[in-house]
Structure 1
Amino acid sequence: MQTDKILAPAVTRASAVLDLLARTGRPVALAELAKTLQLPKSSLHVLCTTLEHLNLITRLDGGQMTLGPHVMMWANAFMARLDITQEFFASWDDMRVLPEETITLSVRDGAEVVYIACRNGKHPLGLQFHAGMRLPAVYTATGLAMLSTLPDASARKLLDGQAGGWPAPLTEHGLRDTASAITELQRIRQQRYSTDREGVRDGMYCFGAPVFDSRNPEAVAGVAVSIRSLEANPALEARAGHAIRKLADRLSERLGAVQAF
C-alpha cells in the first residue's frame, strides 16, 4: 500500500504548522509560515484559523502565532502514558551511582531526540539540558541508543532520508555519515549501551541506553548520564555505562517490557 494514498493532506499540513511552531520556539507570522512550508497563504489562513479555534495555536495581538494550550494537554497525556519520569529520577537516586552527574530522559521524533526529563548535575558541563530540547539523534547518547534498536536497513533509510541531509555537526567529534553511524549502532548492540564522546558538547561524555515497553520491539525512550571528559577513564566509563544500562532495564521492566537489549 502506498503511504501517500492513506495520508490526509489537511492533517499533514496541520502537523507541519505545529512542528514548525515547536521548532522555531518564537511567534511566527503567517507570511513566514507560508514561505517556509511552501503553502498558499489563503489555504494556510483557513488552516490556522481552525487550529486557533481548537486552541492548538494562539494568535498574538500582532497576528503572529505560537503553540496553543491544547498542545500541552496532549503533551501531558503523552507523559502520563509513559509514566516513567518520576520512576526515572527515583530509580537513579535509589541506585546511588554517580548521583551528582547530569541525567536525561528523551524520546525519539524521527531523526531527532526530544528531552522530556532532565536533572542537571552539580558538575558544570557547559550545557544545560531542559525538557523540550531537541537535538539530532546521531550526536546524542540517547539518540544512538534508541536508533540501535532499529534494524540496520530501517536506521539507514531514516538517516539517509533526513530533510536537508546530514545534520550540521555540533562539535568536531560527531559522526559524519550514515555508514559510520551504522557501524556505531552495531557496536552499541554488542556493548549494550551507547557512548557520545563530545558529539554534543566539547568536554562532555554521555552514556545512554534504550528503554522498551510491552508492545514495541523498538525503544520508546532513552536514558543517559553525562560526565566531564577530563574526569573520564576506562573504569569510570564502564561504571557509567553499566549504571545507565541498569536504569534502562529497570524502567523497561516498569513499562512491562519482556525483551532484553
Structure 2
Amino acid sequence: MTEETEQRGKAVPALVRAKKILDALSAGGKPKGVSELARMLDLPKSTVHGLCHTLVDLGLMMRVGPNQFAVGPHVLSWANAFEGQSDLTQEFMRIADANDLISKQAINLSILTGREVMYVACRRGTDPLGVSFRPGVRLPAPFTATGKAMMSTMPRAEVEALFADGWPEPWTRRSVPDLKTLLRELDETRERGYSIDDGQLRDAMVCFGAAVFGASDDRAIAGIAIGLLSGEVNEASTSLVSHAVQSLAQKLSHRLGGNRH
C-alpha cells in the first residue's frame, strides 16, 4: 500500500466531528448548545466550542440565541446542488408529477443515512399530514414507511448493528418499541412487497412505502412513501395506495437501471 493510498483511507478527525455536530443539530429540529452537543457526542466541550464557531464562520451553522446553534443557510446550497445533479431526484419528480392515480396525497423520496431516513424530494399533496417532508429533514428509520422498506432489503445482521447502541425515542404510542418488533415488521414488509407506518410517526397519519433499487440490485438505494390521513384509510384506499407506491418504486427503479421488482 502506498503512502497516498494509506492517507486516503484515513478519516480526518475534525471533519468527522463536524459532521457529527451537524447531524446532531439536524435531528429533532431544535437548536442546541455547546454543552448539550458535547454530552450527546461524548466530545470535549472545548472541541465542540471551537468547531461550532468555525462552522458558524463558514455559514454551515448559525447562532439563534445565547449559546444556541442551528444548521446554517449554506447547507441549503448543497441540498439544492444534490437535487439538481441527482438522477434519483430528477427521475422521481418526473414520475411523481406524471402520476394521475394519486393527486391529493404527498409522495416523498428518502434515503437511508445510518439509523435515520433523510428526505431528498417530495411531490406535495393537498391533504395536510402534519409532518414536513422538506428535503434535508431526518426522521428515525424504524418509524417511517421508507425506512422500513429500505431496511427490509438489508441483511438482518446489518439492521441489528444499526441499533446496537440503543433504540430511538418513540414519537407516538404506536412507534415500533424495539428491535425484535422491527425485525418482525421487516419480514412482513418483504412478504407484502410494501411497508406500513400506521401512526408510528404521527397519530393521524398512515404511510405506505416501497423500496427503490439501482443497477446493483442488491439492496435499496432509496424509498418512496405515500401518506394518508388515518380517517381515509379503508380497504379500497389501502389497495389503491399500496399498489401506487409499488408501481412508482418499480418505475423509478427501472429508470435507474434496477430490475429487481
Normalization by structure 1: what TM-score?
A: 0.82
Of 113, 118, 122, the residue aligned with 1:118 is 122
Assess if the C-alpha contact under 8 Å between 1:195 and 1:205 holds in 2.
yes
In 2: Cα distance, 1:51 partner to 1:125 partner: 34
Contact conserved, 1:195 with 1:206, CA < 8 A, in 2? yes
Could you tell me which amino acid in structure 1 is paired with residue 128 of structure 2?
P
Q: Which region of structure 1 is more displaced relative to structure 2, 165-174 or 218-227?
A: 165-174
- Structure 2 residue aligned with 1:226: 227
Deviation (angstroms), 1:70? 4.3
Shift of 1:198: 1.7
User: Comparing 226-235 with 150-159, which one deviates more in the overlay?
Assistant: 226-235
Alignment match, 2:249? 248
Q: Could you report, residue by residue, the CA deviation over 1:89-134 in whole angstroms, capped at 9, with x for unpaired residues?
A: 3323423112111221111121111222234422333444333332
Aligned to 1:145: 149
Q: Is the 8 A contact 1:101 1:122 kept in 2?
A: yes
The 2-side partners of 1:110 and 1:73 are apart by 23
Q: Which residue of 1 aligns with 2:205?
A: 204
In the alignment, the residues of structure 1 paired with residue 173 and residue 63 of structure 2 have an alpha-carbon distance, to the nearest angstrom, of 40
2:20 matched residue in structure 1: 16
How many Å separate the matches in 1 of 2:72 and 2:227? 33
Give the C-alpha shift of residue 140 in structure 1: 1.1
Asked whether the 8 Å contact 1:171–1:199 carries over to 2, the reply is: yes
- Cα distance in 1 for partners of 2:64, 2:232 equals 48
Q: Does 1:190 align with 2:194?
A: no
| Separation of aligned partners in 2, 1:124 and 1:140 | 17
Contact 1:93 1:99 in 2 (8 A): no
Give the match's secondary structure for 1:206. strand
User: How many angstroms apart in 2 are the aligned matches of 1:132 and 1:94?
Assistant: 24
Flag the 1:21–1:125 CA change in 2: closer, same or farther, 3 A: closer
When residues 177 and 32 of structure 1 are mapped into structure 2, their CA distance, relative to the original with a 3 A threshold, is closer
SS at match of 1:84: helix
Letter matched to residue 102 of structure 2: L
1:132 corresponds to which residue? 136
Q: Number of matched residues?
A: 253
Residue from 98, 109, 113 that aligns with 1:109: 113
Post-superposition Cα deviations, 1:212-261, rounded to whole Å, max 9, x if no partner, equal 2224622221111112233322232122111111111111222222x314
Residue 174 of structure 2 aligns with an amino acid whose one-letter code is H
Kindly state the Cα deviation for residue 23 of structure 1 after the two structures are TM-superposed. Answer: 2.7
Q: State the match for 2:5 in structure 1.
A: none
**8 Å Cα contact 1:29/1:65 also seen in 2:** yes
Q: CA separation in 2, counterparts of 1:78 and 1:176? A: 34
- Against the structure 1 CA distance between its residues 202 and 59, is the aligned structure 2 distance closer, same or farther, given a 3 Å change threshold? closer
Quickly say closer, same or farther: Cα 1:203–1:64, change in 2 above 3 A: closer
2:161 matched to 1:157? yes
AA aligned to 2:48 is: L
Q: Which runs of 5+ in 2 are unaligned?
A: 1-8
How far apart, CA to CA, are the structure 2 residues paired with 1:107 and 1:185?
17
User: Structure 1 stretches of 5 or more lacking a match?
Assistant: none
* Cα pair distance change 1:80/1:236, threshold 3 Å: same
- TM-score if structure 2 supplies the norm length? 0.82
Measure, in 1, the Cα distance between the counterparts of 2:175 and 2:189: 15
How far residue 177 of structure 1 moved from its aligned partner, in angstroms, is 1.6
CA contact (8 A) 1:208 1:241 kept: yes
